[in-house]
């Protein structure tokens, strides 16, 4: 059902979870979507959407851990969308094993930084010519309140309880993930500053605690029943925030409810 002006969105990590839900809801709204995933042909959710939406959905291969793959994906997106893209949803990410921050493995730490920080930066760099050609000119980096250094500092005074989720022991875990999302937030601000003159809006977005493969891993580790948000709820809230973005918001860190999160 085409209710809005058709825009072009590119979503990374589109095979499942929050990324797939972005693709679903953007197609439902009548937009054109480029779904970038490591193995798009093997993503069942994308296959059924391709049948339903035809040309409105383009699929490209993208491994954000591999700079050559990012370059190739940007070229494929350019072929699929010669007039450019309006909004990049830079969503792909990993959490790594949930371990105490004193026990993070060095190789895993490096991988998390590659996929959650450097990869999204390289995606921005490679698709920038396409964003410049688009009308909305927006970049949404899917971050996490776990990457909020200001929140971390507050957690220190709370005996390990996370100030955002109120989870009893999460704040002492996942240093690699926390550092990677803090790094992504730094990328957001640096790109916002660098691209303001070009009218490009760049923000970080925390999707909330969402019942996806990643969100459920945290649920199991914390022994709670379920994550508070379904992917549909989270993305529907996030899209309200994204829809309302202007250049004045560039450089901000929002949660799914549109509240500003501390860097
Ligand atoms: P999932 O684990 O459910 O999905 C992760 C997605 O990222 C998958 O599509 C996966 O693809 C993709 N991905 C992982 N590594 C790569 C890679 N090297 N190249 C390309 N794609 C890759 O996680 P969520 O959907 O929950 O997470 C999405 C984003 O939201 C992440 O950035 C995460 O940090 C963030 N977030 C999630 C929260 C939650 O509660 N769920 C809370 C805060 C932030 P594949 O199928 O190929 O593995």
pLDDT digits (tens, 9 = 90+) for 213-252: 999 998 887 778 889 999 999 999 999 999 999 999 999 9
Query: CB of 178 closer than 6 A to ligand 1?
Result: no
Query: In this predicted structure, what is the pLDDT of residue 3?
Result: 52
pLDDT tens for each residue of 151-201: 877 766 666 666 666 665 677 889 999 999 999 999 999 999 999 999 999
Query: CB of 65 closer than 6 A to ligand 1?
Result: yes
Fold (CATH) for 8-255: Rossmann fold (3.40.50)
Q: How far is the CA of 180 from the centre of ligand 1 (A)?
A: 13
Q: What is the pTM of this model?
A: 0.96
pLDDT tens for each residue of 108-118: 999 999 999 99
Q: How far is the CA of 13 from the centre of ligand 1 (A)?
A: 6
Q: How far is the CA of 197 from the centre of ligand 1 (A)?
A: 31
Specify the ligand 1 atom closest to the Cα of 16: 9
* Residue 145 clears pLDDT 50, i.e. is over it: yes
Query: In this predicted structure, what is the pLDDT of residue 153?
Result: 77
3-state secondary structure the chain: CCCCCCCEEEEECCCCHHHHHHHHHHHHCCCEEEEEECCHHHCHHHHHHHHHHHHHEEEEECCCCCHHHHHHHHHHHHHHCCCCCCEEEECCCCCCCCCEHHHCCHHHHHHHHHHHHHHHHHHHHHHHHHHHHCCCCEEEEECCHHHCHHHHHHHHHHCCCCCCCCCCCHHHECHHHHHHHHHHHHHHHHHHHHHHHHCCEEEEEECCCECCHHHHHHHHHHCCCCCCECHHHHHHHHHHHHHCCCHHHCCCEEECCCCECCC
Domain regions of the chain by residue span: 8-255
Query: In percent, how much of the chain has pLDDT > 70?
Result: 93
Query: In this predicted structure, what is the pLDDT of residue 225?
Result: 84
């Amino acid at each position: 059902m085409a209710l809005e002006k058709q825009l072009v969105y590119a979503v990374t990590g589109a095979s499942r979870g929050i990324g797939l839900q972005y693709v679903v809801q953007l197609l439902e709204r009548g937009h054109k979507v480029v779904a970038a995933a490591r193995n798009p042909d093997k993503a069942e959710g994308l296959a059924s959407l391709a049948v339903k939406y035809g040309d409105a959905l383009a699929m490209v291969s993208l491994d954000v851990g591999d700079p050559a793959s990012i370059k190739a994906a940007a070229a494929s997106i350019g072929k699929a969308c010669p007039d450019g893209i309006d909004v990049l949803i830079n969503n792909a990410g990993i959490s790594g094993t949930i371990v105490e921050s004193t026990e993070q493995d060095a190789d895993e730490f490096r991988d998390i930084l590659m996929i959650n920080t450097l990869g999204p930066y390289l995606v921005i760099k490679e698709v920038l010519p396409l964003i410049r050609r688009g009308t909305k000119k927006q970049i949404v980096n899917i971050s996490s309140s776990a990457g909020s250094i200001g929140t971390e500092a507050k957690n220190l005074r709370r005996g390990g309880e996370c100030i955002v989720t109120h989870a009893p022991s999460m704040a002492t875990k996942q240093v690699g993930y926390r550092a990677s999302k803090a790094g992504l937030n730094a990328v957001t601000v640096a790109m916002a500053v660098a691209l303001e003159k070009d009218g490009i809006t760049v923000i970080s977005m925390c999707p909330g605690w969402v019942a996806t493969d990643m969100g459920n891993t945290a649920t199991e580790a914390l022994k709670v029943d379920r994550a508070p948000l379904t992917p549909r709820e989270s993305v529907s809230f996030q899209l309200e925030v994204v829809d309302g973005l202007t250049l004045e918001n560039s450089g901000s860190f929002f949660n799914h409810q549109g509240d500003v999160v501390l860097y």
